[in-house]
Chains A and B, each alone.
Chain A
């Protein structure tokens, strides 16, 4: 059984003591069942995505059942994506993009302030920054809707159902991710680097731009990516803050699911899957997956 574990790999490098092998446990049954059990999680998590991508390639009329695995490969449904989907995708993308940029603009100073200042009750401050992650999104949605109504009653400006209204809600949940990831990087930051720059005559701004920013960049990318993906996939907040005819892509799909099913949604969903995949690969190229995870985990 000993040989059957990942631990056995440590023995092969020769520097560590070789654990004793026990007689009778050489067959890899335990290993196979362990890895088999682990692969169940992967099947569970990834099979719906594979099915969506696969089924989107099946050419069939609107009235035939969706087929997986696809029998007749074609890109037919990709030509049938309705305008409403493209509009929703555009809205979702611009919303997520703006929300992640603004989350960085708000979050980076917040992380700097939290890590470096010596204000009292720092814990309280940081838990207020983290609070949006603790509040269930559906509560945030309801609360923002009511806030917008009250604001509208007082000033005559109703932001619910507008881009600004949606953006503020998405920004609210995006900020904690950036604060978390950038804060984590800053905690390991060697401040002597900055002192060196300053003592060599660089100004505060130059030091920040040339020393601090490059070092915290992995945290910024990670936090920005989290903020983007959370905004891009959000339903519970957007469902309250969008208006008929002005909905994000996930909300469009959410409502569409209750009505008549058209395989073109599989095509547009596949585009989103590929886009998310591409974005993740790009980030992996820029900062590396390990950095992406280490600097945060988000919540």
Chain B
């Protein structure tokens, strides 16, 4: 008797598909109705929500800010994450596991708890301000809460651990022997980095970068908490519009814009992946 693996797939697939299709279609449909206030929606299909989004400067500035902070967070995640990923991938002792565990722990603990720590560190009498003022670097307390820098910090708390784990698997695809070959032929470390490690990891890093950027675009909790109610990224605005203003249609429109931009970036990364595979840029 041959096992029917395709039949085993059916119940799980139906559940996943129905949940996804139903939820997405319903909210996308709602985004075409008019908000009548108090959560009620009109009956007619209209495009004014989308029209408003793309003509209203406020909404456009929110989208632009979301892209800016996401880009910065992605950039810093790569800059700080790649060396760590490289270090762990090349370590041959038990320390590699310990260091990985440190990263995993930090990604597993909810950002809400970390934000408490950040609040305490950056409070006027907190350890950061006391140290910096004690050293004479600052003359008055500085904080990351409630400004754009804070949002970038928050996004990085969301992405850095994940970024290290993804980049770690990228570095693992580069054979150590290539670096040794370069060194035997007289390259110093700097040249090994610029001529071997960076070029070989570039395809993987590009795809990881797009993934990280996407995570940032959709990140709600860290942006909301470190924005302190003063910085609005798209996800923060969505929550506010839906929960506080009870405008389900406008919320749906904002969510649709976010979803579509994220999906476009995804398509771009899939396209890049297949192109790199064809050109054999990715070592797999």
Q: Note all chain A residues with C-beta closer than 8 A to B109.
A: 49, 233, 272-273, 276
Given A128-B17, A175-B12, check contact A48 B92 (CB 8 Å). Answer: no
Q: Is the CB of A229 within 8 A of B108?
A: yes
Q: B206 interface residue, CB < 8 Å from A?
A: no
Closest to B91 in A: A6
Which B residues from 177 to 227 make CB contacts under 8 A with A?
Answer: 179-180, 183-184, 186, 188-190, 211, 214, 217-221, 224-225
Q: Is the CB of A272 within 8 A of B176?
A: no
Given A6-B90, A128-B20, A145-B242, check contact A55 B120 (CB 8 Å). Answer: yes
Q: Note all chain A residues with C-beta closer than 8 A to B180.
A: 7, 10, 16-17, 19
Q: Note all chain B residues with C-beta closer than 8 A to A35.
A: 87
Q: Is the CB of A266 within 8 A of B116?
A: yes
In this complex, the interface size class of chain B, counting residues with CB under 8 Å from chain A, is 35 or more
Given A41-B164, A110-B16, A280-B101, check contact A20 B184 (CB 8 Å). Answer: yes
Q: A40 interface residue, CB < 8 Å from B?
A: yes
The 0/1 profile, CB within 8 Å of B marked 1, for residues 255-299 of chain A is: 001100000011001001100110010001000011011000101
Q: Give the contacting residue for A293; candidates B24, B104, B157, B189; CB below 8 A.
A: B104
Q: A155 interface residue, CB < 8 Å from B?
A: no
Query: Nearest Cβ in chain B — how far from A129, in angstroms?
Result: 6
Q: Is the CB of B20 within 8 A of A172?
A: yes
Closest to A31 in B: B189
**Cα–Cα, bound, A276→B108 (Å):** 7
Q: Note all chain B residues with C-beta closer than 8 A to A41.
A: 80-81, 83-84, 160, 164
Given A136-B235, A138-B220, A147-B23, check contact A51 B100 (CB 8 Å). Answer: no
Interface size on A, residues (CB 8 A): 100
**Cα–Cα, bound, A293→B10 (Å):** 28
Q: Is the CB of B183 within 8 A of A20?
A: yes
**Cα–Cα, bound, A254→B223 (Å):** 12
Q: Note all chain A residues with C-beta closer than 8 A to B81.
A: 41
Q: Give the contacting residue for A146; candidates B19, B188, B243, B252; CB below 8 A.
A: B252
Q: Is the CB of A44 within 8 A of B116?
A: no
Q: Is the CB of A9 within 8 A of B92?
A: yes
Query: Nearest Cβ in chain A — how far from B81, in angstroms?
Result: 7
Q: Is the CB of B115 within 8 A of A48?
A: yes
Q: Note all chain B residues with C-beta closer than 8 A to A38.
A: 83-84, 87
Q: Note all chain A residues with C-beta closer than 8 A to B99.
A: 42
Q: Is the CB of B183 within 8 A of A19?
A: yes
Closest to A292 in B: B104
Q: SS class of chain A's interface: helix, strand, loop or mixed? A: helix
The 0/1 profile, CB within 8 Å of B marked 1, for residues 75-119 of chain A is: 000000000000000000000000000000011011011101111
Q: B150 interface residue, CB < 8 Å from A?
A: no
Query: Nearest Cβ in chain B — how far from A21, in angstroms?
Result: 10
Given A116-B5, A138-B239, check contact A20 B186 (CB 8 Å). Answer: yes
Most buried by A among B17, B106, B112: B112
Q: Is the CB of B184 within 8 A of A19?
A: yes
Given A41-B80, A113-B12, A254-B225, check contact A48 B183 (CB 8 Å). Answer: no
Q: Note all chain A residues with C-beta closer than 8 A to B176.
A: 7, 10
Closest to B261 in A: A136
Given A41-B81, A46-B106, A276-B109, check contact A51 B127 (CB 8 Å). Answer: yes
Most buried by A among B160, B169, B218: B218
Q: Note all chain B residues with C-beta closer than 8 A to A145.
A: 242
**Cα–Cα, bound, A289→B168 (Å):** 14
Q: Is the CB of B22 within 8 A of A277?
A: no
Q: Is the CB of B13 within 8 A of A297?
A: no
Q: Note all chain A residues with C-beta closer than 8 A to B83.
A: 34, 37-38, 41
Closest to A251 in B: B112
Q: Note all chain A residues with C-beta closer than 8 A to B101.
A: 280, 284, 289
Q: Is the CB of A147 within 8 A of B26?
A: yes
Query: Nearest Cβ in chain A — how far from B142, in angstroms?
Result: 17
Q: What are the 3 tightest A-B residue pairs by CB atom distance, in nearest-first order? A: A136-B218, A113-B9, A48-B117
Given contact pairs A128-B13, A253-B113, a sample of 17 additional A-B residue pairs in the complex whose CB atoms are under 8 Å apart: A50-B117, A52-B113, A66-B120, A68-B120, A109-B9, A112-B9, A113-B9, A116-B5, A119-B9, A135-B218, A139-B258, A145-B242, A150-B26, A172-B16, A175-B15, A235-B220, A289-B101
List A residues at the B interface (Cβ < 8 Å).
1-2, 4-7, 9-10, 16-17, 19-20, 22, 25, 30, 34-35, 37-38, 40-42, 44-52, 55, 65-66, 68-69, 106-107, 109-110, 112-114, 116-119, 125, 128-129, 131-132, 134-147, 149-150, 168, 172, 175, 204, 229, 232-236, 239-240, 250, 253-254, 257-258, 265-266, 269, 272-273, 276-277, 280, 284, 289-290, 292-293, 297, 299
List B residues at the A interface (Cβ < 8 Å).
1, 3-13, 15-17, 19-20, 22-24, 26-27, 30, 80-81, 83-84, 87, 90-93, 97, 99-106, 108-118, 120-121, 123, 125-127, 156-157, 160-161, 164-166, 168-169, 176, 179-180, 183-184, 186, 188-190, 211, 214, 217-221, 224-225, 229, 235, 238-239, 242-243, 248, 251-252, 255, 258-259, 262-263, 266
5 contacts between A and B (CB under 8 A): A128-B16, A135-B20, A138-B239, A232-B110, A254-B225
